[in-house]
Amino acid sequence: MDFNFTEEQDMVRDGLSRMVREQYDWETRRKAIASDAGWRPEVWAQLAELGILGMPFSEADGGFGGGAVDAMVIMEEFGKGLVVEPFLPTVVCAGGFLKHGGTAAQKEEHIGGIVAGSSVFAFAYAEPRGRFDYADLETTAKKDGSGYVLNGHKAVVVGAPWATHLIVTARTGGERRDRDGVSVFVVAKDAAGIVTRDYETVDGRRAAEVYFENVSVPAEALIGGEGAGLGLIELVTDEAIAALCAEACGAMKVAHAMTVEYSRQRKQFGVPIGKFQVLQHRMVDMYTAYEQSVSLTYLATLRLGASETERKRAVSAAKVGVGQAARLIGQDAVQIHGGNGVTDEYAIGHYFKRLTIFDAEFGNVDHHMKRHIALA
């Protein structure tokens, strides 16, 4: 049992922390998310240069030999700065599909681009009526010669406006919601028949509704076995959840620290409001919820390689616990900031927004509570 980070992981954290502090200050972020592009490709290029985008890939695949703990370290720093660039969909999700299910040719074709920063991915899995069930798919992939033809509508595909490629889930067989018959494809976003409607999200990111209208893809676009993709999707989304929890921990840490600092500065009744015990104890409960979240994030991250049941239980425990903490810390941080907490000007409200949207990503508290119960 070991809770120490390697020297390399400490270096990555320090380097990223410096980069976020120096180049992701609040005003710069505000301008970037309001710009036409909504992100800063130069930040992405710098992440590639620092080796961040290649960190969780093995050296054989062209990466730097890191793993889930490295992704955790990286995502926590992104959470602290509310970084919007699409590390999660590109490196954790698409990277995960390629690592666990990709053929040698697929890895060869795509991992180099991810590591270099030239390929940006979005993960198109959700559908308007599918909620959190990865098998509840109306999108279809019909066999056509040696390839497939995709038709369907994918909902709230985060990072899609910036993406060069999409990972798409579709049904190649079976009935809607069957475990069998789910397949995963990698598709260039400029493929004929893909139509997107881009928009902003409430937490400062960009997403799109993605429509597939008779999109032809070759057989080589299939990742994993035909109709056998659900297990792979569950594994990759569990990895994504662990990484998301780390991001939420970073955001909660900053939200809590901002709140404590605010309570030191803000005076009412002639004293700093941080002198009031009723607020002190709320801030202690926020702190405790944060520490428990860090523990659950460690648990989920370190159980990603365990048996399927152990992995799913640990990941669902984390998504429940961190989801509850994110709600508590986000709401209480705004409350203790008073009126300033509900203004656009103060940063705290933006942390609150990110922590709010986090809950529904890859299944909310209720969904993961049900999965935890089912696996008892």
Q: Where on the chain is the footprint of another protein (CB under 8 A)?
A: 1-5, 69, 260, 263-264, 274-275, 277, 280-281, 283-285, 287-288, 291-296, 298-299, 301-303, 314, 317, 320-321, 369, 372-373, 376
Q: Shortest gap between Cβ of 29 and another protein (angstroms)?
A: 27
Q: Which structure tokens are listed for 268? A: 């009412």
Which residue, 142 or 275, is less far from another protein as judged by CB?
275
Which residue, 5 or 64, is less far from another protein as judged by CB?
5
Which residue, 99 or 368, is less far from another protein as judged by CB?
368
Which residue, 141 or 245, is less far from another protein as judged by CB?
245
Q: Shortest gap between Cβ of 92 and another protein (angstroms)?
A: 17
Q: Shortest gap between Cβ of 336 and another protein (angstroms)?
A: 12
With contact defined as beta carbons under 8 Å apart, do 39 and 85 qualify?
A: yes
Query: Residue 176 carries which side chain, given as an amino acid letter?
Result: R
Q: Shortest gap between Cβ of 137 and another protein (angstroms)?
A: 26
Characterize the bridge pairing of strands 147-158 and 206-217.
antiparallel
d(CA 376, CA 368): 12
User: Which run of H or of E encompasses 169?
Assistant: strand 165-171
Q: Shortest gap between Cβ of 96 and another protein (angstroms)?
A: 19
Which residue, 30 or 275, is less far from another protein as judged by CB?
275
Cβ count near 21 (within 10 Å): 12
Which residue, 211 or 287, is less far from another protein as judged by CB?
287
- Cα angle at 326 between 324 and 327, to 5 degrees? 65
Q: Shortest gap between Cβ of 320 and another protein (angstroms)?
A: 5
d(CA 158, CA 199): 10
Which residue, 67 or 113, is less far from another protein as judged by CB?
67
d(CA 359, CA 138): 24
SS3 of 235, please? Answer: helix
DSSP string of 21-55, one letter each residue: HHHS-HHHHHHHHHSSSSS-HHHHHHHHHTTTTTT
Q: Shortest gap between Cβ of 189 and another protein (angstroms)?
A: 36
Q: Which structure tokens are listed for 187? A: 């598709």
With contact defined as beta carbons under 8 Å apart, do 362 and 241 qualify?
A: yes
Q: Using the 8-state DSSP alphabet, how is residue 271 labeled? A: E
Q: Shortest gap between Cβ of 369 and another protein (angstroms)?
A: 6
Which residue, 140 or 293, is less far from another protein as judged by CB?
293
The residue among 166, 187, 198, 156 whose CA lies nearest residue 38 is: 198
Q: Shortest gap between Cβ of 303 and another protein (angstroms)?
A: 7
d(CA 315, CA 302): 10
Which residue, 146 or 265, is less far from another protein as judged by CB?
265
